[in-house]
Amino acid sequence: MDLLDTLTAKGLRGEVPTREEALAVLATTDDELLDVVAAAGKVRRRWFGRRVKLNYLVNLKSGLCPEDCSYCSQRLGSKAEILKYTWLKPDQAADAARAGVAGGAKRVCLVASGRGPTDRDIDRVTDTMAAIKEADPAVEICVCLGLLSDNQAERLKAAGADAYNHNLNTSEGTYGDIATTHTYADRVDTVQKAHGAGLSACSGLIAGMGESDEDLVDVVFALRELGSDSVPVNFLIPFEGTPLAKEWNLTPQRCLRILAMVRFVNPDTEVRIAGGREVHLRSMQPLGLHIANSIFLGDYLTSEGQAGQADLDMIKDAGFEVEGAGEATLPRHRADLAEAAQAAGSCGTAASACGSGGGCGPCGGHAHTAPEAPASEGSASEGSDDELRSDLVKVRRRGAGTELAPNA
């Protein structure tokens, strides 16, 4: 296929496809799916070999968020029966992080619900990072606390944070359909603050909220222009008790096409399969490893993932290996660009350099409705109710905030 040959050649050179080429990936049929995966796999191996980076989530504060993000089980007004608790103590968070590191995680992601941190919250996270680093100085720490105010990113960097996560989630044109208590521009501003302070920018998207193909392409190109070093690809978990509980728009095949499109647009960037992996990719998760080079180990913020050992077995059985603590995730040229941009105190340099073609969630002006899928795509929304795997959506009842051992 000419399209895949072109995309492969561009990806091997680190070049970016056109918007039309990216859209064409999403329009491929199920008959072409393995060819799409194989093409994206060549690009993935060119820049990341057969390494899989493991990341581990610790939910420092769960639920009771004042923001109204429609996709989130922790949102204002959510009736989802999730765990709700206030800030974990540093030693509690460090214990949870230790379980993930022992399971093979290279990066620990510290997350807290809320609009954004207070200065006291930054102090809490600083103490938590110190406790984690004391146990394992080599572990990477990514922090996700919502919208940042001036100088907060600098404080986190000085305290030892390596990265900051804040997802764009969807396109600028449809952002107002999923949240009204903050804007797309607010999210862009936080990513820029984090990158400008010398933190690695981790920013991604959520697929499956009823967005169009154009929306997906818009947000992925926007993430590249922002200079995101890591792009987490979340697949909506339709929690009962949230406004998007009935949005079952994804099939395993659709998820793989989305991952492939993200890889082609970000050939030399960390692409992470994030929330919803087990719910939507299901038995096709190993194929996702041929496209993405990073996953979360074990459970997520408010939902359960598959057993940590099952993740490790899947990686081994698929012919991949866990990335070691001493191995650099990004290719050397990308790391150099990121360091140069961070030293300059601006993400604008990274955005222009990465975009030339030479990663905490989750532009067109399209209505926020589910696109009509070709019959060959086998959209879940076209099938009977018994085809929807809502039984795979399991609220987390172990790990952080409970007395039960974490899944790692």
Q: Which residue has the tokens 């392409």?
A: 217
Given the residues 44, 65, 98, 224, the one annotated as active site: 65
Give the pair of three-digit tokens for residue 5.
């040959």
Longest Cα–Cα distance of the chain, Å, equals 56
**Active site includes 347?**
no
Q: Which of 377, 341, 378, 359 is nearest to 167 (CA)?
A: 359
Given the residues 109, 255, 354, 363, the one annotated as active site: 109
d(CA 371, CA 210): 7
Burial environment of residue 115 by CB neighbours within 10 A (0 to 12, 13 to 18, 19 or more):
middle
Compute φ and ψ for 294, nearest 5 degrees.
-155, 140
SS3 149: coil
SS3 338: helix
**Active site includes 354?**
no
Compute φ and ψ for 67, nearest 5 degrees.
-85, 155
d(CA 110, CA 83): 16
**Active site includes 255?**
no
Given the residues 98, 272, 334, 396, the one annotated as active site: 272
Given the residues 142, 144, 347, 363, the one annotated as active site: 142
d(CA 331, CA 277): 25
**Active site includes 65?**
yes
Residue 220: CA atoms inside 13 Å, Cβ hemisphere, count?
Answer: 32
Given the residues 44, 51, 72, 144, the one annotated as active site: 72
Given the residues 44, 51, 98, 202, the one annotated as active site: 202
Given the residues 44, 69, 254, 263, the one annotated as active site: 69
Q: Is residue 401 within 8 Å of residue 294, measured between CB atoms?
A: no
CB burial readout 338-365, b (16+ within 10 A) else e: beebbeeeebbbbbebbeebebbbbbbe
Give the pair of three-digit tokens for residue 293.
């080079």
| Beta carbons within 10 angstroms of residue 327's beta carbon | 12
- Residues marked active site are found at 65, 69, 72, 109, 142, 202, 272
